[in-house]
A = this chain, B = another copy of it.
Amino acid sequence: MIDEVVKLEIPARAEFVALARLVVSAMAASDVDLPDERVDDLKLAVSEACTNAIEAHDATASPERVRLSYWADDRGLGVRVEDRGPGFDPAALPDHPPVTDPARLKFERGLGIPLIRALVDEVEISSSGQGTAVRLLMRNAVASD
């Protein structure tokens, strides 16, 4: 399955996030058995992860780029978003959004990772001082909940 991987490398700039989403649609059109709604959910998650990756590079004014891999296999459609930003501690963020807590309404930010976790079947975030990798997997119809 390794040769089923599509790789995309983009400058860490806002205008390229749309391209990262577009590749999800293209992969979904050719290779997988996901309902449109789940493809949309994955696009949203990729958009959030890419936005964070770009902002991480902004923080360091690093000219590094954001690297994405997309793969389709029996399990579903996967995307990995990798940056060389300063990293962060994902465990320090709440696992799920406290949607009932009116206090969160004070925040215009901090919605990205909760959205990713709510929308995507499998989410793995690994982060260090060298950068961050977010691995997303949307499971095929049969295997999904």
Q: Which residues of A does B touch, CB under 8 Å?
A: 3-12, 15-16, 18-19, 22-23, 26-27, 30-31, 63, 65
Contacts and interface: CB of A to CB of B under 8 A. Distances in A.
A9 B7 contact: yes
Chain A contact surface mostly: helix
A27 B10 CA distance: 11
Copies in the complex: 2
A30 B22 CA distance: 13
Contact of A4 (B3, B11, B26): B11
Contacts of A31: 15
A69 to B, nearest CB: 9
Contacts of A10: 6
B3 A6 contact: no
B19 A23 contact: yes
A9 B6 contact: yes
Given A8-B8, A22-B22, A15 B3 contact: no
A24 to B, nearest CB: 11
A27 B13 CA distance: 13
A16 to B, nearest CB: 7
